[in-house]
Structure 1
Amino acid sequence: MKLFTKGLLLIALPSVVELALLAVVFDTQEQTARAVQSAADSKQILYQAAALEDPLLRQAARVRTGLIVSDAAFIDRHAAWVDLSDRLMHLDQLVADTPQQAGRVRTMRDAINRYHAQALDAVQSLRDGHSVKSYMALEANPMPAQISIVRNELAAFIAEASRLDAERSTSVMQTRARQQYALIAAVVGSMLIWAVTALVFARNIGRRLEVLTDHAERLGHGQPLSAPLAGNDEIAALDAALHQTSARLRIAEQEQVTLQKRLQARAAELAGVNEALRQETQDNEMFIYSVSHDLRSPLVNLQGFSKELQVSCDDVRSTIDEAHLPDPEQRRLARVLDGDMRESLQFLRSSVTRAAAIIDALLRISRAGRLEYQWQRVSVGRVVARAVDGLQAPIRERFATVTVRELPSAWGDPAAIEQVFSNLISNALNFLDPSRPGRIEVGALAAEPEEDAQPPAQPQAPTTRTYYVRDNGLGIPAAYMPKMFRAFQRLHGDISKGDGIGLALVRRTVERHGGRVWVESAEGAGSTFFVVLPDQPARPV
């Protein structure tokens, strides 16, 4: 397995495990949300059940009073019976997933319906002038039988609902605790996975490099070499070449003393270089740790191992050069060292460098989203003037003309707004067409009132302002337009250098101000970037 493939595995395997840990965290979050919703439903059920008894007892009292005074008006309160029915229906919907509680609700509803029917019969008898003694007999007890049934079922219902509420509250606490444990486990597990993977990779490569170094030393001292390394990576290929070299060197034992002295001098030099590299690596690690330890640690490990491997390769190359091998062997070893090995190391180092640059850019974008803004009325004309003054050197270099029109004020952070226009003007300067005089114009569109439901006699003042930065540069191809405000997207990279995050920072800053940014362009004719910023503080909702 090639070193490049091993490096990919070093990144891929921990990433897969991290995704699995994230899936566990998301699952516990979903369980917590369900538990919280269930607890809220329990509170609602208890509230609805507790609010059912009073209107029922009041209605029973009205029925009894109506029978005593023989007045149907006390009994025939249709709205009260409808209210009781609605409450029971709502309660039935809330406990639909609990069969036992739903059965109690149906029992209460049947009892109330029977009591309601009995009350309606009494009302009809009163209206027809018939005797209501039979109904009075039903009301002789302290509490009507149907009402007693309802109260008993309601008491059992509330007791069971209270028990379920306690269980669900306990479940909420347990699921939240599991969620915290899962999150902690994910963070710690991620760090451990990266550490273990890096350690395993380092031990594997380190052991093989130790064997390779030992073979080189034995080769320098004319001693026999141990068994060759297994595998088909660059280190194994280099070790095989060393074994071939050792076989050739046995013929030239007379040069052993001279070669040993040179190797000792080279070892001392190598120790000094290693110490300097160690100190430099330590300084870099301190800086990287202060920026973003979790993101930088794997890159630092790869950087260090690639340097050590390069030094070892250089050492072996020097040893081979000094051995005065025959030309076929010399070319073969040079092909191994200067070919695949050097290319792999170069690719590894460039990849690490690119990753670090990406991390730096991402940190800049991240900081742009976390900066504390000082909200105030901003004179856009002044901040644009400061931005133009700061860009006078590139303006003179490109013989460009920058025209600033009258710019209305906006509401936002002065430094952030200045950065927005500085990036847009700098972008326009970078992509001017060298074949014609460059012209850049900064202005604002005419204000348009908001479309609001107000009489025409009272126009609504605009709440946003639209500014533009127009140039006559190279323009943007239509196919590239959707990618303009994405990070790390660079057009005409051969003309202008940069990390490709300027427009992404512009979009992030403008969106944090509650505005938006877009571009209109024609390839070969120039581009116009539009920026919408608030004209006044956001209205309270």
Structure 2
Amino acid sequence: MESRTSRRWAAFRQFLRTRSPYRTVLLLATAATLLLLVVNLTTFFMIQRIADDNAQVDHTQEVRTTAREVLAWLLDAETSQRSFLLTGRADYLTNYERAAEILPERLNALVGLTLDNPEQNARAETIRDLAEDRVAVLETAMDMARAGRNADALAVVRRGQGSELMVQLRDEISVLDTQERNLLRRRTDQSEDTSRSTVYINAAAGLLMLILATMSFIILRRFIGELAEARDEVAAANASLEQKVKERTGALSRANEEIQRFAYIVSHDLRAPLVNVMGYTSELEQAGKTIDLQMAKVETAQPDLVEQDALVAVREDVPEAIGFIRASTEKMDRLINAILKLSREGRKTLTPETLDMTGLCQKIADSVQHQTSEADAEIQVADLPTIESDRLAIEQIFGNLIDNAVKYLDRDRPGLITVGGRETAGGWVEYEVTDNGRGISDRDHERIFELFRRSGRQDRPGEGLGLAFVRNSVRRLGGTIDIESELGKGSTFRLKFPKRLVLASGEEFQ
């Protein structure tokens, strides 16, 4: 067991010392994973801090509201008492009795809310004492009035003791409110600073993740390009030297093994950070909504405390950054899936069978009937010669070509797509897929068959893999593909296949 572990460790160290695209992509994926872990932990702590700051803001607002309620209820009690003493009407006592019932609870609440601040708590205690003294003066006059001693009750009011207490109460509540307003401003600023820091940290991390993913993609694309070049060299060598074919075939096999290892990285190591970016982007979006909701509360209660830059950052900059990150990661995911598809297709075993090409192409045309109807287009399939080849590969080749012809029709004129074919000397069959669409510039006739390369306006969905896949599949079937096209007049793709695909015993095309 120890020997096996030692061998694996030695192999891993050798792998790290050997420069290769595989090692580079693996290191980039590891760096991306570590970055995600750091961002995850940082975001968690920052969100907790934002929640604490918002709770402090709410607490300060509650202290100010409670102090104002105390003053309001005392004023209601005074007004109710004076109205009763002047008119003698008992219905004026309703507000007085309500105030006498609510004031003790509000005063105790004010004292309890300020326990975290000794200075404010002492001031709240003073407010409670003054309020209780004021209520006692009010109650003395009310007792006299209830006993029919209105003159004595009015004399108590005229002495001014209650007014002096109210002046002191207003002063104490004003000082308390000023202190709480200053606290609210500081806490609001702190909450906004924390929110902005969270946004900037996540935006920077997302950008760094995209950079790492792009670097990995560029390395992978370069490697696939080198692999395609190696396949072309093998095809050229096949016409001259058998020994050279064997050498190139061996190199191609090794390259295919390497691309499969790359496919594993793409599907696991590289996909994992992309999935995490998508997930944390959703969490960041939700956090932004929470911050926006809290800032809306502050904006409603104290609009002068909210900075316009903070509102723009939360309501415009953050959603825009999140949308950019999400669109970029989704595009990377589509590219990875396309690369994996191309890799898997290269490993399939070909199974020759006799194919009714007329029926096969007509089914493909029928499958895009809804698209051609919308585009005012028509697909005409002529009587095509049969061929003995791999059904799935042929269906994919013609499916891609017909789908492209429909996709790039010229909307200014009725579309027409024709599929024709004929047998030629030497055991070959030629097919043509012709359209009257946009056409392709002369300088792009070769580049459209390259990986991730497209021609003309990029106003149709696609990743630039379709025609590269078609040419690769045609060559695996022993055929060739050429194009004739002119801008504004349409395109013709010519395919040439052996009438019968012959495989050596036990051979698999890879």
For normalisation by structure 1, the TM-score amounts to: 0.48
336 and 505 in structure 1: CA distance in 2 versus 1, 3 angstrom threshold = same
1:536 matched to 2:500: yes
Distance in 2, Cα, partners of 1:333 & 1:520: 57
Q: Residue 442 of structure 1 aligns with which residue?
A: 419
Q: Residue 422 of structure 1 aligns with which residue?
A: 399
Q: Residue 399 of structure 1 aligns with which residue?
A: 376
215 and 377 in structure 1: CA distance in 2 versus 1, 3 angstrom threshold = closer
Q: Residue 328 of structure 2 aligns with which residue?
A: 351
**8 Å Cα contact 1:234/1:340 also seen in 2:** no
- Aligned AA (1:194): A
Q: Residue 413 of structure 1 aligns with which residue?
A: 390
Q: Residue 361 of structure 1 aligns with which residue?
A: 338
Q: Residue 260 of structure 2 aligns with which residue?
A: none
Deviation at 1:212, TM superposition (A): 4.8
Distance in 2, Cα, partners of 1:433 & 1:233: 45
1:194 matched to 2:29: yes
Deviation at 1:486, TM superposition (A): 3.1
Distance in 2, Cα, partners of 1:228 & 1:507: 55
191 and 477 in structure 1: CA distance in 2 versus 1, 3 angstrom threshold = closer
Distance in 1, Cα, partners of 2:467 & 2:452: 10
Secondary structure in structure 2 of the residue aligned to 1:432: coil
1:520 matched to 2:484: yes
**8 Å Cα contact 1:469/1:529 also seen in 2:** yes
Distance in 1, Cα, partners of 2:440 & 2:460: 14
Count of aligned positions: 305
- Aligned AA (1:307): S
Matches within 5 A, 1:133-152: none
Q: Residue 234 of structure 1 aligns with which residue?
A: 200
Secondary structure in structure 1 of the residue aligned to 2:483: strand
Residue of 459, 465, 469 corresponding to 1:501: 465
Residue of 475, 478, 500 corresponding to 1:511: 475
Deviation at 1:237, TM superposition (A): 11
180 and 343 in structure 1: CA distance in 2 versus 1, 3 angstrom threshold = closer
Matches within 5 A, 1:86-97: none
Secondary structure in structure 2 of the residue aligned to 1:411: strand
1:93-129 CA-to-partner distances (Å, cap 9, x unmatched) read xxxxxxxxxxxxxxxxxxxxxxxxxxxxxxxxxxxxx
1:323 matched to 2:289: no
Q: Residue 342 of structure 1 aligns with which residue?
A: 319
400 and 377 in structure 1: CA distance in 2 versus 1, 3 angstrom threshold = same
Deviation at 1:189, TM superposition (A): 9.6
- Return the structure number with greater relative CO, CA threshold 8 A, min gap 6: 2
Deviation at 1:296, TM superposition (A): 0.8
- Aligned AA (1:401): E
Secondary structure in structure 1 of the residue aligned to 2:417: strand
1:313 matched to 2:293: no
Matches within 5 A, 1:118-157: none
Q: Residue 439 of structure 2 aligns with which residue?
A: 475
Residue of 421, 445, 450 corresponding to 1:486: 450
- Aligned AA (2:200): E
1:388-431 CA-to-partner distances (Å, cap 9, x unmatched) read 23233333333333333332222311222122112212221222
Deviation at 1:340, TM superposition (A): 3.5
**8 Å Cα contact 1:411/1:533 also seen in 2:** no
Give RMSD over aligned pairs.
4.2
Distance in 1, Cα, partners of 2:341 & 2:203: 43
Distance in 2, Cα, partners of 1:402 & 1:447: 24
- Aligned AA (2:491): S
Q: Residue 161 of structure 1 aligns with which residue?
A: none
Residue of 212, 215, 219 corresponding to 2:54: 219
Secondary structure in structure 1 of the residue aligned to 2:364: helix
1:262-296 CA-to-partner distances (Å, cap 9, x unmatched) read xxxxxxxxxxxxxxxxxxxxxxxxxxx99922231
209 and 334 in structure 1: CA distance in 2 versus 1, 3 angstrom threshold = farther
191 and 497 in structure 1: CA distance in 2 versus 1, 3 angstrom threshold = closer
Deviation at 1:515, TM superposition (A): 1.3
Q: Residue 296 of structure 1 aligns with which residue?
A: 271
Distance in 1, Cα, partners of 2:410 & 2:446: 22
- Aligned AA (1:313): G
Deviation at 1:510, TM superposition (A): 0.9
Deviation at 1:316, TM superposition (A): 1.2
**8 Å Cα contact 2:292/2:315 also seen in 1:** no
Deviation at 1:192, TM superposition (A): 7.3
Q: Residue 333 of structure 1 aligns with which residue?
A: 310
Deviation at 1:440, TM superposition (A): 1.8
1:148-170 CA-to-partner distances (Å, cap 9, x unmatched) read xxxxxxxxxxxxxxxxxxxxxxx
Deviation at 1:532, TM superposition (A): 1.5
**8 Å Cα contact 2:478/2:501 also seen in 1:** no
Deviation at 1:230, TM superposition (A): 11
**8 Å Cα contact 1:212/1:235 also seen in 2:** no
297 and 536 in structure 1: CA distance in 2 versus 1, 3 angstrom threshold = same
Distance in 2, Cα, partners of 1:482 & 1:440: 22
346 and 385 in structure 1: CA distance in 2 versus 1, 3 angstrom threshold = closer
Secondary structure in structure 2 of the residue aligned to 1:307: helix
219 and 366 in structure 1: CA distance in 2 versus 1, 3 angstrom threshold = same
Distance in 2, Cα, partners of 1:517 & 1:366: 20
1:329-352 CA-to-partner distances (Å, cap 9, x unmatched) read 342211222344333222211111
**8 Å Cα contact 1:468/1:531 also seen in 2:** yes
Q: Residue 430 of structure 2 aligns with which residue?
A: 466
1:371 matched to 2:337: no
1:192-247 CA-to-partner distances (Å, cap 9, x unmatched) read 77346523443255325513531442232249889979989724999xxxxxxxxx
**8 Å Cα contact 2:36/2:273 also seen in 1:** no
- Aligned AA (1:395): T
178 and 433 in structure 1: CA distance in 2 versus 1, 3 angstrom threshold = closer
Secondary structure in structure 2 of the residue aligned to 1:323: helix
**8 Å Cα contact 1:420/1:509 also seen in 2:** yes
Distance in 1, Cα, partners of 2:25 & 2:427: 47
Distance in 2, Cα, partners of 1:522 & 1:321: 58
Unaligned runs of 5+ in 2: 1-9, 58-188, 205-263, 506-510
**8 Å Cα contact 1:209/1:235 also seen in 2:** no
Deviation at 1:513, TM superposition (A): 0.6
Give aligned-pair identity as a percent.
30
Secondary structure in structure 1 of the residue aligned to 2:409: coil
319 and 464 in structure 1: CA distance in 2 versus 1, 3 angstrom threshold = same
**8 Å Cα contact 1:441/1:471 also seen in 2:** yes
Deviation at 1:522, TM superposition (A): 0.8
Unaligned runs of 5+ in 1: 1-174, 239-288, 449-461
